[in-house]
Amino acid sequence: MLSPFRILQTVLVVLLPLSILAQGQVSGTVTDARTREPLPFVNVLLEGTTTGATTDENGRFVITEVTPGLYNVIVSSVGYQRRVVPEVMVGTAKPVELTIQLEPSATELKEVEITRQPFVRTQESPLSVRTIGSAEIMRNPGGNRDISKVIRALPGVASTASFRNDIIIRGGAPNENRFYLDGIEVPTINHFSTQGSSGGPVGMINVNFIREVDVITGAFPAARGNTLSSVFEFKQPEGNAEKPTYTFMLGSSDLGFTFDGPTGRNATTIVSVRRSYLQFLFQALKLPFLPIYNDAQIKHRIQLGKNSRLTFIGLGAFDNVDLNPAANDGVTDQATFERNRYILGNLPDNDQWNYTVGARYDRFVKKGFHTVVVSRSHLFNEASKYRNNDDADPAALLLRYGSTEEENKVRYEAVMNYGPWRFVGGAGYELARYGTDTYTQRVIAGLPVIVDYESSLSMDKFGVFGQLSRTFGKLSTSLGVRTDWNTLGGTMSDPLEQISPRLSLSFAVSDAVNINANVGRFHQLPPYTVLGFRNGSGDLLNLNNGIRYIQADHVVAGVEYFTRNNGKVSVEGFHKWYDKYPLLVDKGISLANLGGDFGVIGNELAAPTSQGRAYGVEFLIQQKLYKGFYGILSYTFVKSEFTNADTRYAPSSWDYGHILNLTGGKRLPKDWEVGLNWRLQGGGPYTPYDIPTSSLIPVWDATQQGVLDYSLINTERLRIFTQLNVRVDKRYYFKGWTLNVYFDVENVLASELPGAPFLDVVRDASGQLQVDPSDPSRYVVKLVPNDGTTVIPSIGIMVEF
């Protein structure tokens, strides 16, 4: 029987003679970045070639007969700063459509060439911004075309050593990040997301829908609220207005199909669907759970005239987690056997779906543009767990959980330019609803307790913001303020309590060197799970305890140097002070320590008394595509600490210390490409078990897992871990279609990835729990190692036609 590798090799040998010197096309529109007015007579050139074009009176350009490959696109015009659009992939299946914005220069009579051409930033956020293009996402070794994994190469970003995509920015919790898709907020970007947080094992957004992503880790613009650690701005490509094209993708974990083409007069549509086969990979790896996910994404744009357009977007997912009772069949390694058995006894069955639909209207005027956004998001989450997985026995019920979250939003935003002044302002309204039906068994003060309640919550949210920017010679300044409030009462209903000012400064020491700084105060509403928690009598206990917006004060400063060969070197220091963070009363710990595991967080008694601090330094060397080379070297040192019930600062769960990343690659002749990613991360802290309490028979029977000793919160620490991922790509260009094949190996050196141990009960040969003969009130327990050395090879095929 032929192996998949041999079949693939045979197919490629057959196809190779069919590959011809097919040509591609690059087209697009160039506009003024401030007014969005089309710019005529702009020169557009493919770097390293003599191929180019000039824009017409509508700002349009078309470059034909382009040899397929990866190009930097150079855009220049008198009176505007020269711009380099990095790493544009040109194929033969469809024309590349670019939307390029040029910033006016201070000198009106000549074209201004600045060294930082590929690195675009704004006056509002002059530092702590990294932009990742679609080519970087697609080729990232070990990234599996998943943006949540790709950003790990950036400074300030940490991750858990597991199958999860938790986004941990500068020592902040995973619930401190916000995501926007073409300016429309989406609550989560991961499948199987943790309710009350944001992480999950697989990303929802299809990379075929991404033109680039701006990752903002500080100096947040006033137009983006309700965040403490980061803002992700996902920018989708323009649809293909010339002809329908299709993409078929067979990846390491899913099968996908994308349509891109015209769908009416002045209208284009991009739509994709994906279905996972991750469950088969997990079965092959002998993992005890089988995740199945489906997602769909759509963008429909209508050009209403020269000065207005309407965009509709949609993003949705349906996820299911089943247990794999056959995980231990044939397993001979004792540690693996015990780890699988523990997870099977602990992990619930889970169904989850969510969607976001939205519309965005843009109207361009002489001095700027107006934007109106309307959207709706809905999350449904349910889970259940029975002792010994016996759902036929009602007395064995350990968990029954159902919950919904709904958000209906409208936002108005204006961007106006008055001479040297730039103003961004607007307001937003949101109607939010939360509901839950919860039954679970917990351990409180060493005793098993049944928590059984229903809750519903409805609130109106409001936000107002404004930001004023101006450049004075070499100094760029931007002063902004926003406030948010809602109808839940207390301080949260007073807009003066959530005043959030911010100031950004950037000084151009030279054309190649900038000194940047930002200081600001930011607020974020606690998760709905915290706000909606009730007791059996129906009282909203946490609101009665004074739960309010979480506050964080940021100070960030740095220096950046831009090379003349599409490179950048930067150093940034940051310090964040947290206040009014929810303290989970029964556990005695800050909510900031949770969010890195599956399930739900925050649905318990809390008070706004925790404080925190996170500080560190980041170093970055980045080389955009230059003579076929590209790469990122980043180093971060971070400390993250929060107060708990004893009011003393202790390391948070995200206190990783040292993080070092190296990602690089080379484009080779005949459309081959090789890349590698190496990562070193300091050992994360974890909390040991309270073994005397955990071993009590009523406690274990109620929870099926060990009880953590939160009086020793994060006093243990995992080992430093390293991981090397490699990837090889090969592209074939045919007339009217393109074939891309890749081979990727995650953790190619089989490095051991450390994990906190499990606590489990000792069983006899028949699987019966062993009672301690010296104390019949307890089980005999032991720690089960949770380290892994999984190597994950994968082959991917993408066909565009």
| Burial classification of residue 442, based on how many CB atoms lie within 10 Å of its CB (0-12 exposed, 13-18 middle, 19 or more buried) | middle
Please give the average per-residue pLDDT across 18-43, as a whole number. 84
pLDDT of residue 491: 94
Indicate whether this model's pTM tops 0.85.
yes
pLDDT of residue 109: 44
Residue identified by tokens 């081959």 is 672
Enumerate the β-bridge partners of residue 584: 589, 606
**pLDDT at residue 41 above 50?**
yes
**pLDDT at residue 413 above 90?**
yes
**pLDDT at residue 43 above 90?**
yes
Enumerate the β-bridge partners of residue 315: 297, 356
Percentage of the chain beyond pLDDT 70 is 96
**pLDDT at residue 52 above 80?**
yes
Q: Are 651 and 685 in contact (CB under 8 A)?
A: yes
pLDDT of residue 14: 52
pLDDT of residue 119: 83
pLDDT of residue 539: 94
Tokens linked to 76 = 């220049």
Give the separation between CA 170 and CA 556, rounded to whole angstroms. Answer: 11
For the CA atoms of 137, 140, 146, 151, what is the dihedral angle to 10 degrees?
Answer: -80
Nearest CA to 488 out of 538, 534, 405, 432 is that of 432
At 208, the pLDDT band (50, 70, 90 cuts) reads confident
The chain-wide mean pLDDT, for the chain, equals: 91
Which pairing describes strands 397-418 and 368-386: parallel, antiparallel, or unpaired?
A: antiparallel
**pLDDT at residue 3 above 60?**
no
- For the chain, how far is it from start to end, CA to CA, in angstroms? 31
pLDDT of residue 12: 52
Please give the average per-residue pLDDT across 326-339, as a whole number. 82
pLDDT of residue 117: 66
Please give the average per-residue pLDDT across 317-338, as a whole number. 85
In three-state form (DSSP H/G/I as H, E/B as E, the rest C), the secondary structure along 733-766 is EECCEEEEEEEEEECCCCCCECCCCEEEECECCC
Give the separation between CA 569 and CA 572, rounded to whole angstroms. Answer: 10
pLDDT of residue 388: 87
pLDDT of residue 20: 53
Q: Dump pLDDT digits (tens) for 595-635.
A: 877 788 999 999 999 999 999 999 999 999 888 899 999 99
pLDDT of residue 162: 66
Tokens linked to 47 = 């770097």
Q: Are 277 and 251 in contact (CB under 8 A)?
A: no
Element (H, E) at 685: strand 685-686
Give the separation between CA 367 and CA 216, rounded to whole angstroms. Answer: 26
Q: Are 291 and 279 in contact (CB under 8 A)?
A: yes
Q: How far is CA 598 from the centre of its chain?
A: 16
**pLDDT at residue 789 above 90?**
no
Please give the average per-residue pLDDT across 40-59, as a whole number. 93
DSSP category for residue 710:
G
Determine the 3-state secondary structure of 281 from DSSP: helix
Q: Dump pLDDT digits (tens) for 278-309.
A: 788 788 877 888 889 999 999 999 999 888 99
Which pairing describes strands 96-102 and 24-32: parallel, antiparallel, or unpaired?
A: parallel
Give the phi and the psi of residue 757 in degrees, each rounded to 5. Answer: -65, 155
Element (H, E) at 138: helix 134-139
Give the separation between CA 501 and CA 481, rounded to whole angstroms. Answer: 4
Give the phi and the psi of residue 497 in degrees, each rounded to 5. Answer: -75, -20
Q: How far is CA 719 from the centre of its chain?
A: 25
Please give the average per-residue pLDDT across 462-480, as a whole number. 97
Q: Are 660 and 601 in contact (CB under 8 A)?
A: no
| Burial classification of residue 298, based on how many CB atoms lie within 10 Å of its CB (0-12 exposed, 13-18 middle, 19 or more buried) | middle
Q: Are 737 and 800 in contact (CB under 8 A)?
A: yes
Please give the average per-residue pLDDT across 641-649, as a whole number. 97
Q: Dump pLDDT digits (tens) for 519-574.
A: 999 999 999 999 999 998 899 999 999 999 999 999 999 999 999 888 999 999 99
pLDDT of residue 534: 95
Please give the average per-residue pLDDT across 97-117, as a whole number. 66
Give the phi and the psi of residue 306 in degrees, each rounded to 5. Answer: -60, -30
Please give the average per-residue pLDDT across 638-656, as a whole number. 97
Q: Are 158 and 200 in contact (CB under 8 A)?
A: no
At 106, the pLDDT band (50, 70, 90 cuts) reads low
| Strand ranges for 285-367 from DSSP E | 289-305, 308-323, 349-365
At 1, the pLDDT band (50, 70, 90 cuts) reads very low
| Strand ranges for 487-549 from DSSP E | 500-508, 513-524
Furthest-apart CA atoms within the chain: distance in Å: 91
pLDDT of residue 21: 59
pLDDT of residue 281: 76
At 33, the pLDDT band (50, 70, 90 cuts) reads confident
Q: Dump pLDDT digits (tens) for 6-17.
A: 555 555 555 555
Please give the average per-residue pLDDT across 713-732, as a whole number. 95
